[in-house]
Amino acid sequence: MTTVTPSAARAAAGPPGRPRTSSLAGRAGVFAVMALFALYTLIPVWWLLVTATKNSGYLFTTNGLWFSHFDLWTNIRDVFQEQDGIFARWLLNSALYSIGGAAVSTTLSAMAGYALAKYPFRGRDLTFNVILGAVLIPDVMFALPLYLMFSQVHLVNTYWAVFLPSVVSPFGVYLSRIYAGASVPDELIEAARLDGAGEARIFWRVAMPIMSPALVTIFLFQFVSIWNNYLLPLLMLNSDELQPVTVGLANWREGVNQGIPYNITITGAFLSVIPLIVAFLVLQRFWRSGLTAGSVK
């Protein structure tokens, strides 16, 4: 945790009366605070990286924040061999839930958002407000009763139990509506109509390409939120083979007392984080544009 004195913050934006320059001390103060918080953020991740390279035995005897005996490859092999190689299955499940769920939810959100932005009809505002209201209701409110409902129609413990709830994204509809309203010109739609294009064709061929930056953002947010989901699959799935990697690893963590080695869980956690960090770094500008659209107006 960082603390900051008022003087450091004052220095941060430069001394009074000299708007164009800021003092060296001020810059140093700003840098110190920012670096301190960066350390706070990085140390746990650094520990995860370092520990993933260690054999179980060295975990207890060596400095947690520095490397010793580099056993990363052995650890990775052990992770993929534990329980007959179920870890690969978990990764595949996570990818399936996340990519499939995000793709479907993005498409549905785009259609709904476009309709709400471009077709005037009675009850439009009411529809939109109901969808928005859903953002304010805690997830558990849906997750538990959904479990009860799914168990009555025998959907519990199937891929569908996790997939179906994941494809509904009220936030996606919200973003689509804003973006369609602001970026798809009415004149363009009108012109396409005059050329004889049907409504579906206009949506797929005219509106969708224009909306694509917003759609990438929706896809990404939904992808991460499905990949990160824990409560829903935990409730819905019994069998190990259907679990996403989050639930699987949490089970391994619990199993440490029953003989699952520490290094398996830690290296597994490390491996499961890599795809998201890569996606996040590569597609970074889309995150920012999504957050900006959501907060600034």
Contact region with other proteins (CB under 8 A), list: 71-79, 84-92, 170-178, 208-216: 170-178
**One residue of 79, 102, 175, 214 binding other proteins per CB under 8 A:** 175
Contact region with other proteins (CB under 8 A), list: 13-21, 69-77, 81-89, 208-216: 13-21
Q: Which is nearer to other proteins, 215 or 269 (CB)?
A: 269
**One residue of 67, 95, 216, 294 binding other proteins per CB under 8 A:** 294
Residue 188 lies near other proteins (rule: CB under 8 A): no
Residue 201 lies near other proteins (rule: CB under 8 A): no
> What are the C-alpha distances in Å from 206 to residues 106, 175, 180?
17, 18, 11
Residues 247-286 that bind other proteins (CB under 8 A): 247, 249-250, 253-254, 256, 262, 265-266, 269, 272-273, 276-277, 279-281, 284
**One residue of 133, 160, 191, 201 binding other proteins per CB under 8 A:** 133
Residues 67-106 that bind other proteins (CB under 8 A): none
Residue 140 lies near other proteins (rule: CB under 8 A): yes
